[in-house]
Structures are given as structure tokens and as C-alpha cells.
Amino acid sequence: MTRSHGTALFVSTMILVVIALGTAGAALVVHHDTDDLRARVKPVHREVRHLIAAEADAERRLRLLGTGARTTTEALAALFAAEQSQVDASNHAVDVANQAVDQFNNARSADLATAFQGAGDAALTDLEAKTAAVRAAADATRSALAGLQVAASG
């Protein structure tokens, strides 16, 4: 072995030591900076999660308002339909009673009026059902209105 070979080995070793120390130092600096970056990502993710929750809440409220509006509209339409049926049933029942009275007045016979018994009973039964339907529709309307107002105020 020559002396120059030994010197070259020594110098190369020193260069490698410097490279090892330099890269290790640089790597530690980069690693530290990476930790800082990761620390900055966490609050951003937290805010995203918060916004997602707020969005879900807004969607839920919007869905409730839409459902409340639709339910109220349908309930009001049902109430007026039920009311119209009740009015028709009421007028029909009075017509039956009127015809019975007219027959009685003309013939002065209770038997003629009795001939309307079936029609009268049927008309009253129908009117009772239609009146109950109006009450049910009114209750449904009030319930829908309350639900809509709660959704709007919430």
C-alpha cells in the first residue's frame, strides 16, 4: 500500500463524515418543518368537520321546512275538500227532510214520511261521517301548522 492511498482513504472518510452529518442535520430540519405542517393541517381538518356538521344541520332544517310546507299545503287542501263534502252532505240531508215534510203536508199521512226513513238515516250517517272528517282534517291542519312554525323558528 502507498502513502497516497492511505491519505485518499482518510480524506474520503472525512468527506463522507461531513456528508453524513450534513444530511442528518438537514433531515432533522426538514422533519421539524414537516411536524409544523402537520400541526397546521389539524385545525383545518377540525374546521372542515365543523362545517360539515353545520351543513348537515342546515340540510336537516331545510328538509323539515320543506316537509312542513308540503304537509301544511296538503292538510289545507284536505280540509277544504272535507268541508265541501260536509256542506253537500248537509244540504242533501235537509233535502230529504224537506221532501218528507212536503209529503206529509200534502198527504197528511205519517206513512208517507216514514217512507223517507231509510233515506233520512243514510243522509244523517253520511253527514256524521263527513262532519267527523272535517274535524279530523282540522286537527291535521293544526298539527301541520304547529310543525311548520316549529321548523321555521328552530
Partner 1 sequence: MVEPTRSSLVRRRVAFGVALLFALLGVAFLVWTISQHQDARDDLADARVQLANQRAVTSKDAKSVQHARTVVMTVHDQLAALDPGSGTLADLDEKDLIAVRAAVQAGLAGTLADYNTAVDQRASLDPQHDATVEQLRQQANVVITVLDGIS
Contact positions with partner 1 (CB under 8 A) in 44-103 = 44-45, 47-48, 51-52, 54-55, 58-59, 61-62, 65-66, 68-70, 72-73, 76-77, 79-80, 83, 86, 90, 93-94, 96-101
Confirm or reject binding of residue 126 to partner 1 (CB under 8 A). no
DSSP state of 105: H
Site for partner 1 in 130-149 (CB under 8 A): 131, 134-135, 137-139, 141-142, 145-146, 148-149
In whole angstroms, the minimum distance from the beta carbon of 52 to partner 1 comes to: 6
Helix runs in 108-116, H state only: 110-114
Q: List Cβ neighbours of 148 (8 Å cut-off, separation of 6 or more).
A: 65, 68, 69, 71, 72
- Min dist. Cβ of residue 96 to partner 1 (A): 6
> What does each C-alpha distance from 26 to 3, 7, 33, 55, 108 come to in angstroms?
35, 28, 11, 43, 121
